[in-house]
Structure 1
Amino acid sequence: MGVHGIISYGAYIPRGCLLRSSIAEFTGKGSNKGARSVASYDENTTTMGVEAARNALKRSDTNPKKLWFSTVVPAYMDKTNATNIHSALQLDDFVEATDFGNSTRSAIGALSNALESDFSTLVVTADLRTGPSGGTEESSGGDASTALLIGTDEQGALLAEYLGGVTVTSDFTDRWRVPGTSYSQVWEERFGEQAYKPLVERAWSEALRKVDIRTEDISLALISGLHSRAVAKSIPLIDVEVADDLTGKIGNTGAAHPSLLLANFLDQAKPGEVVALIVLADGCDVLFFRTTQEVENRRNPVPISDQIESQSPVPYSKYLSWRGLLDSQLPNRPSPTRPSSPAAVRRNDWKMGFVASKDTTTGIVHMPPSRIGIKGGDVDDMEKLPMADSIGTIETFTLDNLVYSPNSPVVFAVVNFEGGGRLPVELTDADPEKIEIGGQVEMTFRCLYTADGIHNYFWKARPVRREREKS
């Protein structure tokens, strides 16, 4: 059914970063070099996945038939997290939404299966890494998400063709985390290093033979794995130039890292380049791609390099508080009650998809949506109006130091949207001292709070990135 490959892609790196020097200063341990990405207090793997998926779908006319979400830190167990992403993206009800989880290898497994499928599939991955305070797992980890729209050249123009690949599976325990714990445990590093080396050699030689390709034909290799020493020892085994793995700038983002490296490659790639993606996780996976002419026309809306450049440092104490590793005094107000599931279902388009209504007679935009116009008229004389991609302008704002929040003070603003509509919203990813009336904001999917185990998802506003203002 045609040539398989990547139709579009997106990546999301949180705007916060944690300087490793701040960890060393606080704990007296670790390196002073580099930084790691940090998800905000109102972000989890689902909200990050929504951001990456939105970026992937902006530059494509292909509608996915399946949505697969892979993470090792799901916001929910039992409930499907992919359905939250499905609702936020306002995908058709007949689009299958499924979770892939439990291990970092599930992410590359989802990608490999999508590349063999005849259905257009949006593969979303996200991870949120943490570890004991002052430890290597904490400082070397990172938070990020990616989305790859996979399909055939008959379903959409390909940015990169899939040439083929190989999977080698091996059962050994060098990293593990039991249910209910928040971070991984690892075996002595030399054990994993010795276990992965023959797997890489075997997978690489078999992949070259199967795809019928020579090392001199490969432009670049991307190597990913949570075992940093095994990754480093793999480089001389393949005899191909290896790209920077970004761990010095954002840390290792676990399940999201292989596709993040692939997205970073596509941000810069020229047509006709062949790239090898090598993933070390309970075995070794090798996938080959070749870019097409289309790669220069539909790149990630905000390149990964620009997202890294625009990050702002987060104090280590705030990071610990956001992760629940440090008890902080919250405003002396009652904790919020759990959101109503029946009410959420009735207003799902608004709550999850940020869909307003527009009066077909007067043209007035109603936020939240209404069945009847503010100036009267016929009931249900409305059309749905998606607002998630709309740019807004701050009309006025206030700082609230008393409202319940793990990140006080909370900034509330009245926002006027381009094309109509006005709404009071909470701002996020913003420095209260830098907010100005007239400033432009964009919408982002976040978790307002969690009560009784239920996440109250909705949309917040954040300052528009510099890159988007320039575009």
Structure 2
Amino acid sequence: MAGIIAYGAYVPYHRLRRADIADTLGSGGGKGTRSVASYDEDTTSMAVEAARATLPPGRARERVEQLFLATATPPYLDKTNAAAVHAALGLDEQVLAADMAGAVRSGVAALLAGASAAVPTLSVLADLRTGAPGGADESAGGDGAAAFLFAGHREDMPVLAQLIGHSTVSDEILERWRLPGASSSRVWEERFSEGIYVSQAAKALGSALDGAGIAASAIDHFAVVGLHARACAAVRRSADVRPEAHAPDYTGVIGNAGTAQPGLQLADALDRAQPGETIALVVLGDGVSVLLFRTTDALPAHRAAKPVADQAAAGAPAMKYATFLSWRGMLDREPPRRPDPEPPYAPPAHRRAAWKYAFIGSRCEKCATRHLPAERVCRSCGEVDAMAAEPMEHVRGKVATFTVDRLAFTPSPPMIAVVVDFDGGGRFRCELTDATEAEAVIGGRVEMTFRRTVTANGIHNYFWKARPVREAEAPAPAAAVGDESREGAR
């Protein structure tokens, strides 16, 4: 079986206290918090962030030959959402980009498709979970994404974890459903399917372990995921697995990320595992799938730069429930007295795709001046057509100046606009996201993030924004397996 050669996860910055739901509605809620995708995030933008964490700019991206995006909440129907992820990563045009969408089980399908592929495949899982106000899906849900690069048949890529066995039981269970156009799912009474899932999990886990030739007691990291909380708990109790092997529970902090939850749990297991350990991932939903991985000696040197546990602990102070409802489109607020925003237009967007999606500028080959966006004529020395492509997504900078605009159109007023001076040269004006007014300070360190700037006439406009660098200043992320380090500020 093919193995994982790189991985990464993304947990949005914002958090909602479940108790605030009950405080507002008088019912629902619960304890802890859940992760919340910002007003300018969706499953495509979160998928890009997880993929960027998996594949820093470099040679590893050049080796990707397939890209699968799994989500139950695609921003587009009848259009490939993975194509935007492909464009943001700057992958070769011959790379297949395809969606696996519609249900949370598409996440495990993307993992198995990547693991069984003959060519290097990037499997990305993303989800934005919500439900009717005050309902269990709303409070128990969470938003996030994870990505995994599988080696295919390439033998020149060190494997971090190898898929040593898997088994699946498929079943048509009327447990959860959502009609096209509906804003939330409907579920049957949980006791109906709990026993079904426990029985199927025992069968699938036993089959996977037998196929791999190992016993349940040999499992070092055991994670059970699914939207059926009672069934997941029952499977954990019934499995003959050592207590210390059970995975940490982050649902009290970030919630259940649905399609992305198997990916987040697998990424967390890889964050914590030592070489030679066995990871068992059990996924419930319209049946049960079990994936068994064994880690290798290469894992410690190539772990993800931002562990899942650190991202879970680094969330923002709790937001207001009314803000959450507004971001989810369930509470309409009056827009500013300005003309409605215009949608992006297809021809210019396609012509400037390298800039719009991959954030690629240019550098003059004569005087080394950076240009954002890319230009043909150097503004410093006047040289014509002597430019080299300059990827900028990974370059950090500092705020040169900013303004707080209370009249500009934004789903989360006010808009904070900043001018960024990038390390190594180049200046760019953009929005500052995931930040309060107090965090907009001259000299503040920022990094770039891929976001949805606006939706107009049914068209999503994606571009790049700045966000504050909150962790201690650190070196640039290590290059992915098989990469060569880039020169400092290129």
Normalising by the residue count of structure 2, what TM-score does the alignment of the two structures yield?
Answer: 0.93
CA 1:112 to 1:293, structure 2 compared with 1: closer, same or farther past 3 Å? same
- Which is further off, 250-259 or 371-380? 371-380
Q: Is the 8 A contact 1:129 1:183 kept in 2?
A: no
2:424 corresponds in structure 1 to: 419
Are residue 431 (structure 1) and residue 429 (structure 2) matched?
A: no
Q: What is residue 222 of structure 1 aligned with on the other side?
A: 223
SS in 2 for 1:338: coil
Which string of whole-angstrom CA distances, capped at 9 and with x for unpartnered residues, describes residues 185-232 of structure 1?
Answer: 000110111221211111111112111111121112110010000001
CA contact (8 A) 2:397 2:422 kept: yes
Partner residue, 1:142 = 142
Deviations 1:98-148 (A, max 9, x none): 111111111101111211111110000100010111111100000000100
SS at match of 1:297: helix
Distance 1:469 1:220 in 2: 30
Tell me, in whole angstroms, the C-alpha distance in 2 between the residues paired with 1:372 and 1:59. Answer: 26
How far residue 380 of structure 1 moved from its aligned partner, in angstroms, is: 1.6
Q: Helix, strand or coil for the counterpart of 1:197? A: helix
Partner secondary structure for residue 131 of structure 1: coil
Q: Distance in 1 between matches of 2:224 and 2:375?
A: 51
TM superposition shift of 1:304: 1.2
Letter in 2 for 1:353: A
**Cα distance, 1:95–1:371 mapped onto 2, change above 3 Å:** same
Conserved 8 A contact 1:223-1:245: no
8 A Cα contact 1:339 1:454, kept in partner: yes
Distance 1:159 1:467, change over 3 A: farther
| Separation in structure 1 between the aligned mates of residue 20 and residue 254 of structure 2, nearest angstrom | 15
The one-letter amino acid paired with 2:41 is: E
Q: 1:358 aligns with which of 354, 360, 363?
A: 363
Partner SS for 2:44: helix
| Residues 299/454 of structure 1: CA separation in 2 closer, same or farther (3 Å cut) | same
Deviations 1:314-348 (A, max 9, x none): 21110000001011122211111111110101111
- Contact 1:43–1:447 under 8 Å retained in 2: yes
Q: How does 1:367-378 map to 2 (within 5 A)?
A: 367-375=372-380, 377-378=382-383
Cα distance, 1:376 vs. partner? 5.2
Q: Does structure 1 conserve the Cα–Cα contact (< 8 Å) formed by 2:250 and 2:312? A: no
Q: CA deviation at 1:377?
A: 3.4
**Which stretches in structure 1 are left out of the alignment for 5+ residues?**
none
After TM superposition, give the deviation of residue 26 of structure 1 in Å: 0.8
Which residue does the alignment assign to 2:288? 284
Runs of 4+ aligned residues of structure 1 deviating over 6 Å after TM superposition are none
8 Å Cα contact 1:120-1:155 kept in structure 2: no
* Matching of residue 346 in structure 1 with residue 351 in structure 2: yes
Moved more, 29-38 or 277-286: 29-38
Q: Contact conserved, 1:146 with 1:260, CA < 8 A, in 2?
A: yes
The answer as to 2:34 corresponding to 1:36 is yes
The answer to whether the Cα contact below 8 Å between 2:435 and 2:467 also exists between their aligned partners in 1 is yes
Aligned to 2:405: 400
Q: Tell me, in whole angstroms, the C-alpha distance in 2 between the residues paired with 1:215 and 1:197.
A: 16
Quick check: 1:271 aligned with 2:265? no
Contact persistence 1:8–1:60 (CA under 8 A): no
The question of whether the paired residues in 2 share the 8 Å contact of 1:442 and 1:461 is answered with yes
**CA offsets 1:239-292 (integer angstroms, 9 cap, x no match):** 113212321111110000011100011111111110101000111111111111
Instruction: Give the distance between the partners of 2:402 and 2:416, measured in 1 at CA.
Output: 7
In structure 2, the partner of 1:116 is 116
Normalised by the size of structure 1, how large is the TM-score?
Answer: 0.97
Task: Say whether residues 1:453 and 2:458 are aligned partners.
Answer: yes
Structure 2 CA distance, aligned partners of 1:206 and 1:308?
33
Deviation, structure 1 residue 430: 0.7
| Identical columns (%) | 46
Matched with 1:173 is 174
> Which amino acid in structure 2 is aligned with residue 182 of structure 1?
S
One-letter amino acid of the counterpart of residue 94, structure 2: F
**Residues 8 and 59 in structure 1, CA contact (< 8 A), matched pair in contact too:** no
Question: What secondary structure is seen at the aligned counterpart in 2 of 1:112?
Answer: helix
Contact 2:162 2:295 in 1 (8 A): yes
- What is the SS of the residue equivalent to 2:126? strand
- The secondary structure found in structure 2 opposite 1:411 is strand
Q: 1:176 to 1:26 in 2, by over 3 A?
A: same
Please state whether the residue corresponding to 1:262 is helix, strand or coil. Answer: helix
Question: Match of 1:77, as an amino acid?
Answer: L
> Which residue of structure 1 aligns with residue 73 of structure 2?
73
User: Aligned partners of 2:228, 2:312: CA distance in 1, in Å?
Assistant: 23
Q: 1:60 Cα shift? A: 7.8
CA distance in 2, matches of 1:99, 1:317: 32
Change (3 A) 1:259 1:92: same
| Aligned counterpart, 1:301 | 305
**Is the 2:366–2:383 Cα contact (8 Å) retained in structure 1?**
no
Cα deviation, residue 413, structure 1 = 0.9
**1:470 shift after superposition:** 7.9
Q: Distance in 1 between matches of 2:156 and 2:172?
A: 37
- 1:387 aligns to 2:385 (yes or no): no
Residue type of the partner of 2:309?
S
Residue 58 of structure 1, CA deviation: 2.2
Q: What is the identity, as a one-letter code, of the residue corresponding to 1:277?
A: L
Give the number of equivalent residue pairs: 469
Contact 1:224/1:245 (CA < 8 Å) preserved in 2?
no
Match of 1:247 among 248, 251, 254: 251
Q: 2:256 matched to 1:258? A: no
Matched residue, 2:15 = 17
